[in-house]
Structure 1
Amino acid sequence: MLKIMFVAGEASGDLYASRVAAKIKALMPEVALFGMGGDLMLQAGMDLEYNIAGSTVMGFSEVLSSIPDLWKRLNRLKEIAASRCPDALVLIDFPDFNMRLARYVHKLGIPIIYCIPPKAWAWRRYRARQIARITTVVASIFPFEAEFYRQAGANVAYVGHPLLDFAKSALSQREAKERFSLNPDEPVFGLMPGSRRKEVDRLLPVMLQVAHRIRKVIPTCQFPLPLAPTISKANLPEMPFVQVIEGEVYNVMRACDLMCIASGTATLEAALMLTPMMIVYKVSFSTWIILKSLVRLTYSGLPNIIAGREIVPELLQSRANPQLISKIAIELLSDPKKIARQKAELAKIRDQLGAEGAVERTAKLVLNTAMRGRSEENVENETI
């Protein structure tokens, strides 16, 4: 029986790994999948040594307090890899932890597939060569990322971004507006303050002030807020003119004429939905200084990073203020030509990322790598 070990340490990795695992099971039902992940991986048929549910770490102090547990998990996973000898190890994001595990597993001669590799193209570029040395193949999700890792000497398979498979809605914009009882003939300005508690605490008050300012100029404007599954509705403040919607983020994106989105994966989701947006973000001053010294990127938002230029307005730190955000939002909402131009640029981003099927391509890559590893092991054993 083929044995494949997975390691994911965050909610996003759990989601991606669960979809890849489900596809692997569909292609080869008898395969044994095990490792570290969350409830979604468990539901996909994986035997979990550690369940990461509820263990998301945010903030410097939380990271420090979690180090003993992370070391314990790392050492246990090393033991599992050595004792169960999987035919392949699949790492999903979570770089500081996974790279340590990879160095150890590489010495055991076990093939390693790194899915969603470290963003070395943004910071800590030296990690790209380290990844090249210790992995069998890097499953890249961006075209520019694939080229970056190839130049570092890695064996790269460009599988495409998994969001291409899932960021979609069957509704027209009018149907989406009607689904949420929004007036289809009036503007809709969506609010997405983030998926982490600290992001929401920092950005939601700003976005609410933006909404107040927009209402003064465009009284008929409507404000849906698709709530991230990691955020409890009970923890949100009273927002009488904001409609909080749970569980239908892509339908909400389809309904919106424009969105104000915290920098992160949601900006790429909106781009794939061809939903015009503004990207905002704020962190503490000390964190901002550290990021400015480490990150080698001109832009923050994924649509702009992929395009290599600003196709979507970015308002970061001091520029992420209600006055400037609302000014730009009103200009966009009042000018259909500007909205149309941004949609056209977002369509180019979607085309650049390629075709759907990233999850299936990743699953086949994992299976093929694992089977090659087993074949090579059999040859070595016969030789001995």
Structure 2
Amino acid sequence: MVAGEASGDLLAGLLLGGLRRRWPALSAAGIGGPAMAAQGFDAWWPHHKLAVRGYVEVLRHFREIVGIRRALAERLLRERPDAFVGVDAPDFNLGLEERLKAHGLKTVHFVSPSIWAWRGERIHQIRRAVDHVLCIFPFEPAIYERAGIPASYVGHPLADAIPLQPPRAAARAALGQPPEATLVALLPGSRRSEITAIAPRLLAAAAEMHRARPALRFLLPAAPGLRDLLDPLCAAHPGLPLDRVDGRSHEVLAACDLALVASGTATLEAALFKRPMVIVYWMNPLSWWMMKRKQLQPWVGLPNILLEDFAVPELIQDAATPAGIARAGFAWLDDPAATARLAARFDALHTLLRRDTGAAATAVMEALLGR
């Protein structure tokens, strides 16, 4: 298995749990992180080696990433596992899967690349690369069926893992937060490049919100290994009532009243916790220009894509200013009725995505492997 960043590691860990229930003696190895390790996964390389976003940023790490993929492919072709599962990370995994499949290994891709949102031409490489796609959104299998690619909807494992009713009071108690406080969560992403680009904007927005409303409190869950980047950024705002938490992002989302969140899997997590949010993103302008040209939908954030509506604001690139983020945050805090309507839409989305993903994925793997 290969998972390329914190969100992929989380999804892969949940999938491994389901596979182990069916095959207790399962042996799994490759590239992964702590959630996979908790399921007995043997990480030959840590997942953060692949946690690079954007075209320009990838170029800086290109030689190392290509070297890892080559070494991994050679090892897998020697050891010939029963199956290879690539978890998201399509820029890394599809090329690897293509080589493995050409040499007779069974390949499964878990989490369809967002070909319905951008880079639709990727479907041709997917056809060459995979024996089966495990889809986490219900509309995706039909896209693959039209292209002649076997695919199954297995639900989103986060929808299984996150309770339908968020434990707000328990989460606040566990985090040591007052039950009556207004809490704003800051989630600047899980990649180092995202932290560098997005965390300063979220922290500056938090400072603006605090100046306007001093009673607000802020929570920032730090992904493992990123405290060295976050500490000096937080130190630039000494008067901000900010509590940093190592990990525990789900507790933070359960506890908060509002999330200021980098575009990515965390936006879907916030939706599953039924929290109003402001989606923020900024990246190298050249990388953004290249990605924008391939965009097929008007939305960037997963909740908006799934709801086919700008249900929550998206402040991308030049729009991602501290003042703009603060204004969008206050709009939610000042409109409880709008927040309640959004929570109802998120509740329906949660129900749609909720299945026993581990069991569904295992059934696909059983059929594929003939065992």
Q: How many residues align?
A: 365
- Contiguous gaps of at least 5 residues in structure 2: none
Superposition pairs of residues 343-358 of structure 1, within 5 angstroms: 343-353=343-353, 355-358=354-357
> Structure 2 CA distance, aligned partners of 1:202 and 1:155?
38
Superposition pairs of residues 266-277 of structure 1, within 5 angstroms: 266-277=266-277
Change in Cα spacing, 1:337 to 1:128, as seen in structure 2 (3 Å) is same
- Which residue of 12, 19, 44 corresponds with 1:17? 12
Task: Give the TM-score taking structure 1 as reference length.
Answer: 0.84
SS in 2 for 1:303: helix
Change in Cα spacing, 1:9 to 1:193, as seen in structure 2 (3 Å) is closer
Shift of 1:43: 4.8
Q: Residue 126 of structure 2 aligns with which residue? A: 131
Task: Give the TM-score taking structure 2 as reference length.
Answer: 0.87
> Structure 2 CA distance, aligned partners of 1:286 and 1:85?
40
Q: Residue 371 of structure 1 aligns with which residue? A: 370
Q: Residue 332 of structure 1 aligns with which residue? A: 332
Shift of 1:40: 4.7
Which has the higher relative contact order, 1 or 2, with Cα contacts under 8 A spaced 6 or more apart? 2
SS in 2 for 1:143: coil
Q: Residue 312 of structure 2 aligns with which residue? A: 312
- The answer to whether 1:52 aligns with 2:46 is yes
Shift of 1:54: 4.7
Shift of 1:311: 0.8
Contact 1:129 1:154 in 2 (8 A): no
Q: Residue 258 of structure 1 aligns with which residue? A: 258
> Structure 2 CA distance, aligned partners of 1:272 and 1:118?
21
> Structure 1 CA distance, aligned partners of 2:167 and 2:48?
36
Give the letter for the 2:39 counterpart.
A
Change in Cα spacing, 1:370 to 1:163, as seen in structure 2 (3 Å) is same
Contact 2:203 2:234 in 1 (8 A): no
Superposition pairs of residues 1-384 of structure 1, within 5 angstroms: 6-38=1-33, 40-47=35-42, 50-58=44-52, 63-64=58-59, 66-168=61-163, 172-232=167-227, 234-238=231-235, 239=237, 240=239, 241-353=241-353, 355-371=354-370
Contact 1:171 1:251 in 2 (8 A): no
SS in 2 for 1:292: helix
Contact 2:182 2:216 in 1 (8 A): yes
Instruction: Report Cα offsets for 1:238-293 as digits up to 9, x if no partner.
Output: 24411212232222212211111111111100100111111111223222222221
| RMSD of aligned Cα (Å) | 2.7
Contact 1:141 1:158 in 2 (8 A): yes
Q: Deviating runs (4+, > 6 A) in structure 1?
A: none
Change in Cα spacing, 1:128 to 1:244, as seen in structure 2 (3 Å) is same
Instruction: Report Cα offsets for 1:98-130 as digits up to 9, x if no partner.
Output: 222222332333332111132222222122133
> Structure 1 CA distance, aligned partners of 2:77 and 2:170?
54
Of all paired residues, the percent bearing the same amino acid is: 33
SS in 2 for 1:55: helix
> Structure 2 CA distance, aligned partners of 1:104 and 1:201?
34
Change in Cα spacing, 1:360 to 1:52, as seen in structure 2 (3 Å) is same
Mean CA deviation greater in 280-289 or 230-239: 230-239
> Structure 2 CA distance, aligned partners of 1:151 and 1:314?
31
Contact 1:39 1:51 in 2 (8 A): no
Shift of 1:319: 1.8
SS in 1 for 2:119: coil
Give the letter for the 1:257 counterpart.
D
Change in Cα spacing, 1:313 to 1:55, as seen in structure 2 (3 Å) is same
Shift of 1:357: 1.7
> Structure 2 CA distance, aligned partners of 1:64 and 1:90?
25
SS in 2 for 1:224: strand
Instruction: Report Cα offsets for 1:293-337 as digits up to 9, x if no partner.
Output: 122221111000000111111111222222222223223212211
Shift of 1:188: 1.9
Change in Cα spacing, 1:329 to 1:101, as seen in structure 2 (3 Å) is closer
> Structure 2 CA distance, aligned partners of 1:291 and 1:148?
21
> Structure 2 CA distance, aligned partners of 1:252 and 1:367?
37
Instruction: Report Cα offsets for 1:167-223 as digits up to 9, x if no partner.
Output: 349864234334434332342222222222332233333223322332344332222
Shift of 1:83: 3.6
Give the letter for the 2:52 counterpart.
M
> Structure 2 CA distance, aligned partners of 1:35 and 1:54?
13
Contact 2:32 2:46 in 1 (8 A): yes
> Structure 1 CA distance, aligned partners of 2:164 and 2:15?
22
- Contiguous gaps of at least 5 residues in structure 1: 1-5, 373-384
Shift of 1:140: 0.5
SS in 1 for 2:347: helix
Give the letter for the 1:15 counterpart.
L
Mean CA deviation greater in 230-239 or 269-278: 230-239
